[in-house]
Structure 1
Amino acid sequence: MTTHLIPRLPAIAALASLIAPASALAHPHVFADARLEIETSADGRVTELRNVWRFDEVFSSSVILDFDENADMKLDAGELAKIGDMVTQSLAEFDYYTSVTVNGKDIGITLPEAIKVDYQDGQLLMFFALVPDSIELAGKIAFGVFDPTMYAALDFINDEDMAVTGASASRCARKVVRPDFDEIIEQNQASLTEAFFETTGSGDLSKLLATRLELDCK
């Protein structure tokens, strides 16, 4: 890895020690179109969270410059695998940018295998599946995917990009929530002080601003 990668890739950096959280309200430097599929089982449980991220062409080109070890201007299988291994290690610290709550309580998640990486049509792709702690389709369940450092912007362009799949997909009412930035700031003016950012960092605000899928399960 060349040293000039460090300032361009802090949010999905090769090693956790190279991740430099951006300041609160910082403008994102990395952009990706995202898709999330919540797989359900016949017995009414969430079994898997399937993620696909497609990164913007500018960022994707910079990755080629830094990881193309044989200088053939493309990423071969070995180079892609190296990126996947490093990103897997880095994002573990951030729960793979994924948040799951049941009735307001945070739920743990695990990654059963490495994040896979591909390069198609000039864009870097990452795809991986997460396994949450046991989740029964009951009550209010919320899923979000966001970078707590606010360095990378993961965008669900269409509501259908946050989908529920599998045998129990129709069991719960589904709603995609896209918070309004100005409204969030106005509603939280009392708490969004300098002390707020000093004690909590940008993660709390990024969670408030993140697009999320809410399930209401009877």
Structure 2
Amino acid sequence: MCAVLLPSLAGAHPHIFVDTGVELIADDAGRLAQVKVTWAYDDYYSLLIAQDLGIDQDFDGQASDADRETLTGFDMKWIEGFNGDLALRIDGAEVALSRPIAPTADLTGGRIITTHLRDVADTPVLGGAMVEVLPYDATYYTAYDVTLPVRVTGAEACMIETALPDIQGKLAELQDQLQLLDRDTDIADTDLPQPGAAFATRITVQCPGV
């Protein structure tokens, strides 16, 4: 089993690259109400989508009003159960998010940039909580790099930290865990992390309590 899985893990690599930004939005009561996500797709994938949708016919890398209308929502057609490649945790507990709302899309400099909002279930109190945001595709087909702004709106003096993944170190950990399994183990029955989760950038946000 290790002989089969280790090469595939070592060779795991994404096919789509997305620069990502995150905005946490607090309401007037200091509760986390929404998360706004920005995705800026790589040049090649943007070109493929533009060709598929028939936009940017003058090839100037910019969207017309009609192009923006066609683009908006192209990446929001989520199947049931899809988490939007985003995990949100408050004090270590997973928090549910709504399906995407208020999508926008544009093409600028040859890159497609989209945004969407997601409502946060139960609107937890933001002040004094440890908030974790992890943008990732569990299969690692898409790589989300947190290179765009991460901010908090509606709360002040929040501390924001971004921890980049140690990909080589995570691969070594997965290798060590695989070597402990016997040949009859079904990999689906183990608690081994999926590559995307292991390689995710971790955003932590802490805002002062009242």
Answer yes or no: is 1:63 the counterpart of 2:53.
Answer: no
- Offset, 1:60: 1.1
Instruction: Name whichever structure is richer in helix by fraction.
Output: 1
Q: Deviations over 1:35-90 (max 9, x none)?
A: 11112234221122111111111111111221107966586555544544442123
Larger radius of gyration: 2
The residue identity in structure 2 corresponding to 1:150 is Y
1:128 pairs with 116, 141, 152, which one? 116
Which residue pairs with 2:4 in the alignment?
none
Equivalent positions of 1:130-209 (< 5 A) are: 130-133=118-121, 134-137=123-126, 138-157=128-147, 161-166=149-154, 168-170=155-157, 172-192=158-178, 198-199=188-189, 204-209=194-199
Which residue pairs with 2:3 in the alignment?
none
The residue identity in structure 2 corresponding to 1:88 is M
Structure 2 Cα separation of the partners of residues 176 and 144 of structure 1: 10
What TM-score do you get using the length of structure 2 for normalisation? 0.74
- Aligned pair count reads 192
What fraction of aligned residue pairs are identical, expressed as a percent?
21
Query: Contact 1:100–1:144 at 8 Å: present in 2 too?
Result: yes
Query: Contact 1:91–1:97 at 8 Å: present in 2 too?
Result: no
CA RMSD in angstroms, aligned pairs only? 3.2
- Offset, 1:164: 2.0
Alpha carbons of 1:188 and 1:26: their partners in 2 closer, same or farther (altered >3 Å)? closer
Q: Which moved more, 1:183-192 or 1:101-110?
A: 183-192
Equivalent positions of 1:1-218 (< 5 A) are: 26-68=12-54, 77=65, 80-90=68-78, 93-111=81-99, 113-133=101-121, 134-137=123-126, 138-157=128-147, 161-166=149-154, 168-170=155-157, 172-192=158-178, 198-199=188-189, 204-216=194-206
Runs of 4+ displaced beyond 6 Å? 200-203
Q: Give the 3-state SS of the residue equivalent to 2:195 in structure 1.
A: helix
Alpha carbons of 1:140 and 1:180: their partners in 2 closer, same or farther (altered >3 Å)? same
Instruction: Name structure 1 gaps, 5 residues minimum.
Output: 1-22
What TM-score do you get using the length of structure 1 for normalisation? 0.72
